[in-house]
Structure 1
């Protein structure tokens, strides 16, 4: 088997020595080409090259969720065709590693590599659904390029938090769970209008959902992790279905305390709930409109301000080694 290993040298939880050990372990089982990313978007370019090659059967992403997202967007540059595309394997190297952990892989890079090698020997894989975001025709965001996400996207509050975290990382700070918690508090204090939402969710054949302050779109569950604690924003979300949405219509101090507590105590059976919480399951196509530009994030990557974005849930989009 010929495989491409895409290595993010800035992965926060792996050292150069650890990466060398993992490369040797993988190379002992396959014909491996290891490439270290050198710029933002490099992993996407490598994924596209692998998809267009004739002999690469597997792409291994060694890094965090951002690296995985880039590789997936490269693999699916010309659209999903699971049987014709290389399979994907993920070795977690970031601070959170939501996609890898949602697949059931260990959060330790060495243990995950062992699990991947076992899965390859046993022929164990699954074909997962993914989400795609694009600009909405007839709006100012019409020309925004479409992009895939592997586990979650958000318009509004959570995307603002992601943007704040990225600003700190650009100044040299490490991405830690404590940093995220601090930025959640600062984003909340900086919200101009927490009681009247600007987001409307529209889908064919249904009444629009209006006045949302924030919206979280999940492709799987858990939505994220706080340390080792899984957070279930949309417990019914699955790699086997479409997209789930959690929307909140109020972010008052009391509402944040209530929904934050519910999120920390969430389980695979129950997530945040209440009269100002909207939960939608297994959606295929819908659009989020905002009265004012709001931040957009996908897989923890801040993508700027948007007023209208269209979401598509694509079943059986990519084969993954598990």
Structure 2
């Protein structure tokens, strides 16, 4: 088996010594090329070349969710074809590792490497659904390149939080759950549209849903983790189906307290609910429009401001070794 290992040297939970040990373990079982990323987008470029070469059987992403997202976008640059494209494997090295944990992998890089080697020996793999977001035809965002995401996207409030966290990290702050919670509070205090939302959700054959303040798009469940606690925004979301949406039309102080409590106590059977909560399951095509530019995030990566985004859920998009 020929494999490419894409290593993010800035992965927050692995040291250089740990990465060397993992590379040695993987190289003992396959013909391995290990490449360390040097710039933003490098993991995407490496995975794209591996997919186009036709000579690589497997691409292993060693890093956090951002590294995985780049690798997926490189593999799927020419479109999904799980029978032809290299498989994907993930060794978690980030602070949260939502995609890897949602697949059932250990959150420890060494244990996950052992699980990966076992899966390869036993020829275990699954084909998962993914989401793709693109600019909406006929809008000012029409020319925005399409981008795949593995576990979630957000348009509005939660994407604003992600943007704030990225700003803090650029200033040298560590990515911690406490940092995220502080930015949630600051985003709430400065959110100008929390009482009257600007987002409209449109889908074929259905009436539009208007005045949403927050929209979270989930490709799997859990939506995220707080330490070891899974958080379920859309409990029915699954790698076997298309996309789920959680929308909120009110973010007053009482509403925030209620929905935050529901998220913290959410379970695989029950997520946020109430008069101002919208939950939709297994959507293949829909568009979110906003009256004003709003932030967009995918897999925890802030992508700037948009006024319209079209989402597509693609079943059986990629083969993953688990």
- The TM-score with structure 1 as length reference comes to 1.00
**What SS class does the counterpart of residue 306 from structure 1 fall into?**
strand
Instruction: Return the alpha-carbon distance in structure 2 between the equivalents of residues 174 and 30 of structure 1.
Output: 35
Work out the number of aligned pairs and report it: 322
Partner of 2:91: 91
**What SS class does the counterpart of residue 79 from structure 2 fall into?**
coil
For the pair 1:12 / 2:9, whether they are aligned, the reply is no
**What SS class does the counterpart of residue 215 from structure 2 fall into?**
strand
Partner of 1:141: 141
Partner of 2:221: 221
Instruction: Return the alpha-carbon distance in structure 2 between the equivalents of residues 238 and 129 of structure 1.
Output: 8
Partner of 1:27: 27
Instruction: Return the alpha-carbon distance in structure 2 between the equivalents of residues 267 and 60 of structure 1.
Output: 31
- Which deviations, in whole Å up to 9, do the C-alpha atoms of 1:229-266 show, x marking residues without a partner? 00000000000000000000000000000000000000
**What SS class does the counterpart of residue 261 from structure 1 fall into?**
helix
Partner of 2:240: 240
Instruction: Return the alpha-carbon distance in structure 2 between the equivalents of residues 138 and 242 of structure 1.
Output: 25
**Superposed displacement of residue 174, structure 1:** 1.2
Instruction: Return the alpha-carbon distance in structure 2 between the equivalents of residues 251 and 163 of structure 1.
Output: 19
Partner of 2:70: 70
Instruction: Return the alpha-carbon distance in structure 1 between the equivalents of residues 35 and 44 of structure 2.
Output: 12
For the pair 1:120 / 2:120, whether they are aligned, the reply is yes
**Superposed displacement of residue 54, structure 1:** 2.0
Partner of 1:183: 183
Partner of 1:294: 294
Instruction: Return the alpha-carbon distance in structure 2 between the equivalents of residues 74 and 230 of structure 1.
Output: 28
**Superposed displacement of residue 55, structure 1:** 1.5
**Superposed displacement of residue 171, structure 1:** 1.1
Partner of 1:257: 257
- Which deviations, in whole Å up to 9, do the C-alpha atoms of 1:117-163 show, x marking residues without a partner? 00000010000000000000000100000000000000000000000
**Superposed displacement of residue 173, structure 1:** 1.3
Partner of 1:158: 158
**Superposed displacement of residue 192, structure 1:** 1.2
**What SS class does the counterpart of residue 13 from structure 1 fall into?**
coil
Instruction: Return the alpha-carbon distance in structure 2 between the equivalents of residues 174 and 116 of structure 1.
Output: 28
**Superposed displacement of residue 193, structure 1:** 2.5
Instruction: Return the alpha-carbon distance in structure 2 between the equivalents of residues 307 and 217 of structure 1.
Output: 16
Partner of 2:266: 266
**What SS class does the counterpart of residue 119 from structure 2 fall into?**
helix
Instruction: Return the alpha-carbon distance in structure 1 between the equivalents of residues 53 and 317 of structure 2.
Output: 19
**What SS class does the counterpart of residue 186 from structure 1 fall into?**
helix
Instruction: Return the alpha-carbon distance in structure 2 between the equivalents of residues 192 and 318 of structure 1.
Output: 39
Partner of 1:168: 168
Instruction: Return the alpha-carbon distance in structure 2 between the equivalents of residues 83 and 266 of structure 1.
Output: 36
Query: Which of structure 1's runs of 4+ aligned residues deviate more than 2 A?
Result: none
Partner of 2:105: 105
Structure 2: which 5+ runs fail to align? none
Instruction: Return the alpha-carbon distance in structure 1 between the equivalents of residues 54 and 193 of structure 2.
Output: 53
Instruction: Return the alpha-carbon distance in structure 2 between the equivalents of residues 126 and 72 of structure 1.
Output: 15
Instruction: Return the alpha-carbon distance in structure 1 between the equivalents of residues 104 and 205 of structure 2.
Output: 36
**What SS class does the counterpart of residue 153 from structure 1 fall into?**
strand
Partner of 1:132: 132
- The TM-score with structure 2 as length reference comes to 1.00
